[in-house]
Amino acid sequence: MSLYSPAEGWYYKKVAKDEKMWMVIALILCIALFIWMVMWHVYGKQNPSSTTYRTSTTEFAKLSESYIKKNMVGLDNGVPVVRPKPNTDVFILSEMWRWSPALILQKDQSYKFHISSKDLLHGFSIQPVNMNFQVFPGYDYVLEFKPTEVGEYKVICNEFCGIGHHTMIGRIVVIEKEEDLKLYGYENLKKEPDPLPESGSSGKVLTEAEMVLMGEQVYTLKGCAACHKIDGTSQLAPAWNGLFGKDELVIENGKKITVKVDEDYIKESIRTPQQKLTVGFEKTPMPIFPLTDEDVEHVIAYIKSLQ
Ligand code: CUA
């Protein structure tokens, strides 16, 4: 609604000649741009078309967790590495602030990516080829993906997602021959994913090796890997290698005491992290993670194995 009404009968007044000319030019331009848009999509080297499905963050997180559990062949900086078979579904989860898993793909083979976010909007940007997709929580973004060139690709997040945004870098390597794995430090990964032991609820007793394997998965999937490293570096939290059996200086009730890192101590550190704070890491207190008792047992087995 306009504040002023036009004069009566304006609709039937003739349009001036030059005004008409501009309308025709605009119309032609509109049609040309419209055709251009369709042609650009078909013939231009644009981002591929994709399909999107509704999902929920918990549902997708569960899907990707079980996908990684079943398919991981190793770790890269605490991020699980998966080597999917061609023409299979691949689940990629973004969360503050990482992409997981890292992928090893075969040149000229197709993969069906499912991409979603666990928390907020992230941007899936493959560099240096500069393909960009928005990743929303609650949507399963399905993308046919066929790498045509070997090499290492970084997955950069290109939507600002908080303080760790700039560290949110994933990895996709595309290989042609097995030897190519060496270029990326992946030559020692498992050839095939380990067959997973059934979780403890089946009543089956796990072997020590199976416990360690399950613990390693808790380590990567539940996010312990973000702070606890296993290569001896410790910026945010004590490293896990060589930790078990060690004497640790901690603060309890304001007093410094020495404790031996054993099963009870690890259990307590997970359940009530504020009880004893390791000297040197008081500034980065650990949050409480919702782990099951089994998860905790497995984590302990894993830490024990890291000598
Ligand atoms: Cu994720 Cu920025």
Beta carbon of 122 within 6 Å of any ligand 1 atom: yes
Residues 66 and 148 in one domain: yes
Do residues 252 and 276 make contact, with C-beta atoms less than 8 angstroms apart? yes
pLDDT for res 47 = 66
Asked whether residue 239 is domain-assigned, the answer is: yes
pLDDT for res 283 = 80
* Structural domain range at position 249: 208-305
Asked whether residue 249 is domain-assigned, the answer is: yes
- Report the candidate in 132, 112, 115 with the shortest Cα–Cα distance to residue 123: 132
**How many independent structural domains does the chain possess?**
2
Query: Which residue, 152, 184, 216, sits at the end of a domain?
Result: 184
Asked whether residue 160 is domain-assigned, the answer is: yes
pLDDT band at 31 (very low <50, low <70, confident <90, very high): very high
| Average per-residue pLDDT for the chain | 85
Whole-number Å distance between alpha carbons of 269 and 248: 12
Whole-number Å distance between alpha carbons of 118 and 93: 7
Residues 72 and 148 in one domain: yes
pLDDT band at 200 (very low <50, low <70, confident <90, very high): very low
Query: Which residue, 184, 216, 232, sits at the end of a domain?
Result: 184
pLDDT for res 192 = 75
Beta carbon of 159 within 6 Å of any ligand 1 atom: yes
Query: Which residue, 136, 168, 184, sits at the end of a domain?
Result: 184
Instruction: Report CA(161)–ligand 1 centroid distance (Å).
Output: 4
pLDDT at 231 over 80: yes
**121 vs 284, more confident:** 121
DSSP summary character for residue 254: T
Express as a percent the part of the chain with pLDDT over 90.
18
One-letter amino acid for residue 268 of the chain: E
Beta carbon of 168 within 6 Å of any ligand 1 atom: yes
Residues 66 and 178 in one domain: yes
Here the CATH number for the domain that contains residue 159 is 2.60.40.420
Counting from 1 in the atom list of ligand 1, the atom nearest the Cα of 97 is 1
Helix axes 263-271, 293-305, angle to 10 degrees: 130
Asked whether residue 72 is domain-assigned, the answer is: yes
Asked whether residue 45 is domain-assigned, the answer is: no
- Report the candidate in 74, 106, 109 with the shortest Cα–Cα distance to residue 187: 74
DSSP secondary structure, 198-211, as one string: PPGGG-PPPPHHHH
Here the CATH number for the domain that contains residue 216 is 1.10.760.10
Residues 165 and 261 in one domain: no
Do residues 245 and 255 make contact, with C-beta atoms less than 8 angstroms apart? no
Instruction: Report CA(159)–ligand 1 centroid distance (Å).
Output: 5
Mean pLDDT check: name the lowest of 28-37, 103-112, 170-179, 289-298: 289-298
The closest residue, in CA terms, to atom 1 on ligand 1 is 122
Instruction: Report CA(242)–ligand 1 centroid distance (Å).
Output: 33
Token output for 113: 């990516």
Asked whether residue 275 is domain-assigned, the answer is: yes
pLDDT at 60 over 60: yes
**201 vs 224, more confident:** 224
Asked whether residue 284 is domain-assigned, the answer is: yes
Within 10 angstroms of residue 118's Cβ, the number of other Cβ atoms is 17
pLDDT for res 198 = 55
pTM: 0.58
pLDDT band at 33 (very low <50, low <70, confident <90, very high): very high
Which positions ≥6 away from 81 have C-beta within 8 Å?
72, 73, 74, 75, 101, 102, 103, 104, 186, 189
Convert the pLDDT of each residue in 255-300 to its tens digit: 888 888 988 898 888 888 888 888 888 887 787 887 888 888 888 9
Residues 64 and 100 in one domain: yes
Convert the pLDDT of each residue in 150-189 to its tens digit: 889 999 999 998 888 888 899 999 988 888 888 888 877 7
Mean pLDDT of 40-66: 81
pLDDT for res 204 = 57
Asked whether residue 24 is domain-assigned, the answer is: no
pLDDT for res 127 = 84
